[in-house]
Structure 1
Amino acid sequence: MTRTTGYEPLFTLKPVAPEIWVVDGPILKFYGLPFPTRMVVVRLTDGGLWLHSPIQMDDGLLQALAALGPVQHLMAPNWIHYAFVPDWQRAFPKAQTWAAPGVQERAGSRGLALRVDHQITDHAPDAWAGQVDQLVVPGSPVHREAVFFHRASKTLILTDLIENFEAANLPVWLIPLAWAAGTLDPDGKAPIDMRQTFRKGREAARGAIETMLSWEPERLIMAHGRWYETGAMAELNRAFRWVLR
């Protein structure tokens, strides 16, 4: 029997604000640990859909997306979040795939054929310039994550730089591990092993966090755990205190 994620219904477009939705997906095992998955969908002004961290495909979800508009852009925002992108590429061969630095190399090392059309940089391309801001957080030789800010809804979109697992949605044995890693709600943040990779690059990372704060987001969406419909600035200052202090 498949364990519930706590974020049901899955494969369902859930409105965040006008032109932006979250879609919660099933559990994915990473190094043996269960992670709930989440995708963000933005409808751009040209009517095309921008998908952040695509989750497992589902027929009902595909029908719901088709009612919104054509899938045009697939985001692989860090070296971990790319597993389902090839499935979406096959379903939408005209969609452009955008990947953070290191994604293609990581996929290749795992024997996964991943076509990358563009590398994500600190500058939004013409397709969504003025609608979604972006930057690649520096400071770690391992974890290079692209973060995005949907201007109209004032929503900041992260992936793993903050993880916020709710105890009620975890197996009992995993709760102390999440607490030790620093990823347990209500004080979820980057897991401790990731934070350690920024040891020599903390100043560079601080600049990126300060840029995120300068955007003054109201909402904060992450791929794993509880996300924040309000109070994003306070949560950023809390979750990134290991960088900002």
Structure 2
Amino acid sequence: MNTLKPLAPGIWTVDGPSVSLDAPFGLGVRFPTRMTVVQLSNGGLWCHSPTAPEAGLFAALDQLGPVEHLVSPNKLHYTHIAAWKRRYPHAVAWASPGVRERAAKQGAEIAFDADLHDDPPTAWAEDLDQLRFRGSSVMEEFVFFHCASRTLILADLIENFEVAKLPMLLRWIGRLGGVLDPDGKTPLDWRVTFYRADARFCLARMLAWRPQQIVLAHGRCYSQNAEAELRRAFRWLNWGRVF
């Protein structure tokens, strides 16, 4: 936990502590989190969905280079950006659609500096491509592709929890939501909100990147067969139902 784990030259993951989220029927659950760090061509660091702040992690990052970008990929992944911004005041905090409203509703004190758009900003266009995964009436997510390592970086579009690492309650919820390893996918409550045509178009864009591995914010990542895993995880887009 809180340790940089190299995936390929210039890209690392960090497993963070569990976070709480409200579950159906008023139940609160805790589940694991993961951030992704990319070293850009200019030496600066790009941090996707920052995990809880920790002194040892900050020290390790400072040895790599300056933290320049703090990215909220969707409106649920913002919790620790304010703390990271205090540690790295010159870093740009990037907002996803709806995250400002969500943070305000939750009483979170956070100020974003810029908004993510369909095309990558100049700051990281040389290293990362991106896509606004559209089609949902409740939440959209920005997905990213690290070109050098051919790594697809996701937050919640695929969740793939390992059963043995979950408490009993979360196993039941995960099975209901269809997000248990080895058949992880978009959670059921989010799946039902998608307009399929828009989502299929976005999936085609992701497949066109020809990713070789997929990093997830929650659960086991896919270190191989990435294209096949994408097709499997999003097979519900081609069915008449969401299961």
Do both share a fold (TM > 0.5)? yes
Equivalent residue number for residue 171 of structure 2: 175
Equivalent residue number for residue 219 of structure 2: 225
1:91 to 77, 87, 90: 87
Equivalent residue number for residue 60 of structure 1: 56
Equivalent residue number for residue 48 of structure 1: 44
Equivalent residue number for residue 215 of structure 1: 209
Displacement, 1:130?
2.6
Task: Please say if residues 41 and 126 of structure 2, whose CA atoms lie closer than 8 Å, have aligned partners that are also in contact.
Answer: no
Amino acid at match of 2:12: W
| CA–CA separation in structure 2 for the residues paired with 1:24 and 1:46 | 25
Equivalent residue number for residue 19 of structure 2: 28
2:199 to 194, 197, 205: 205
Amino acid at match of 1:38: R
| CA–CA separation in structure 1 for the residues paired with 2:72 and 2:176 | 28
SS in 2 for 1:40: strand
Equivalent residue number for residue 187 of structure 2: 191
- With 11-20 and 177-186 compared, the bigger mean Cα shift is at 177-186
Gaps of 5+ in 1: 1-9
Task: Please say if residues 36 and 49 of structure 2, whose CA atoms lie closer than 8 Å, have aligned partners that are also in contact.
Answer: yes
| CA–CA separation in structure 2 for the residues paired with 1:143 and 1:99 | 13
Task: Please say if residues 190 and 239 of structure 1, whose CA atoms lie closer than 8 Å, have aligned partners that are also in contact.
Answer: yes
| CA–CA separation in structure 1 for the residues paired with 2:20 and 2:169 | 15
Distance of aligned partners of 1:244 and 1:129 in 2 relative to their CA distance in 1, 3 Å threshold: farther
Deviations along 1:127-160, one digit per CA (max 9) or x if unpaired, are: 1113100011111121110000000000000000
- 1:150-161 matched pairs, under 5 angstroms: 150-161=146-157
Displacement, 1:173?
3.1
| CA–CA separation in structure 1 for the residues paired with 2:127 and 2:19 | 31
So what's the TM-score if we normalise by structure 2? 0.94
| CA–CA separation in structure 1 for the residues paired with 2:238 and 2:59 | 43
Deviations along 1:38-81, one digit per CA (max 9) or x if unpaired, are: 00000000000000000000000000000000000000010100
Equivalent residue number for residue 236 of structure 1: 230
| CA–CA separation in structure 2 for the residues paired with 1:98 and 1:136 | 14
Amino acid at match of 2:8: A
Residue 128 (structure 1) aligned with residue 119 (structure 2) = no
Task: Please say if residues 167 and 184 of structure 1, whose CA atoms lie closer than 8 Å, have aligned partners that are also in contact.
Answer: yes
RMSD: 0.9
Equivalent residue number for residue 135 of structure 2: 139
Amino acid at match of 1:206: R
| CA–CA separation in structure 2 for the residues paired with 1:115 and 1:173 | 35
| CA–CA separation in structure 1 for the residues paired with 2:131 and 2:111 | 21
Amino acid at match of 1:12: T
Amino acid at match of 1:19: G
Percent of aligned positions that are identical: 52
So what's the TM-score if we normalise by structure 1? 0.94
- With 168-177 and 157-166 compared, the bigger mean Cα shift is at 168-177
Equivalent residue number for residue 25 of structure 2: none
